[in-house]
Amino acid sequence: MKKMNYTEFQKRILEVNKASKIFAPLTNNISKAFELYQEVLAEEKMEVFISTSTGGSKPQSPFDDYERPLCPDCNSPMRFRIIPPNDENVNTQLVCENCDLVLDSEKTIQEWYQLLEKKSDSGLPENTEKTE
pLDDT tens digits, residue range 43-95?
A: 666 665 555 555 555 556 667 777 888 999 999 988 888 888 889 999 999 99
CATH numbers and ranges of domains, the chain:
1-54 (no CATH), 65-115 (2.20.25)
> What whole-number distance in Å separates Cα of residue 97 and Cα of residue 108?
20
- Give 128's pLDDT tier (boundaries 50, 70, 90): very low
Judged against a pLDDT cut of 70, whether residue 130 lies above it is answered with: no
> What whole-number distance in Å separates Cα of residue 86 and Cα of residue 106?
11
Of 5, 27, 7, the C-alpha closest to 15 is: 7
- Please state whether the predicted TM-score (pTM) of the whole model is above 0.85: no
pLDDT, mean of residues 115-124: 66
Maximal C-alpha separation, the chain:
61
Across the beta sheet with 78-82, what order do the strands follow?
Answer: 78-82, 92-96, 102-105
DSSP secondary structure, 74-122, as one string: T-PBEEEEE----TT---EEEEETTT--EEEESS-HHHHHHHSPBBPTT
Q: Report the share of the chain in percent with pLDDT over 90.
A: 17
Report the amino acid identity of residue 96. Answer: C
